[in-house]
Amino acid sequence: MERIGTTSGLFSAGEPATNTKGTVVTAAWLNGVQEEIVNVILAAGLVPDGADLAQLTQAIKRYKDTVTTTKYDLRVESGVLVLKEV
């Protein structure tokens, strides 16, 4: 994942008094963030659901609950994050 393409790597609201524009957020950046999050949800065995705003939390909790008792191999296969039990 890349940081937003500003000098500081952070978002800026801009400054109207100096005519400085805010950060331009590109489709490529937004798609990258979306896919990073969706990959975590999928790796946890969940199905992405636009109506469920707690899926990332559920995925992290599921991973946390299983990682303490089971060993997993986490890797990227064909651009998808895969979590396999060892």
Q: What is the pLDDT of residues 11-68, one digit of tens each?
A: 999 999 999 999 999 999 999 999 999 999 999 999 999 999 999 999 998 887 766 6
For residue 45, the model assigns a pLDDT of 93
Cβ burial 21-59 (10 Å sphere, 16+ → b, else e) = eeeeeeeebeeeeeeeebbbbbbbebeeeeeeeebeeeb
Q: Are 73 and 84 in contact (CB under 8 A)?
A: yes
**Amino acid present at 77:** E
Q: Coil, strand, or helix at residue 82? A: strand
pTM of the model: 0.65
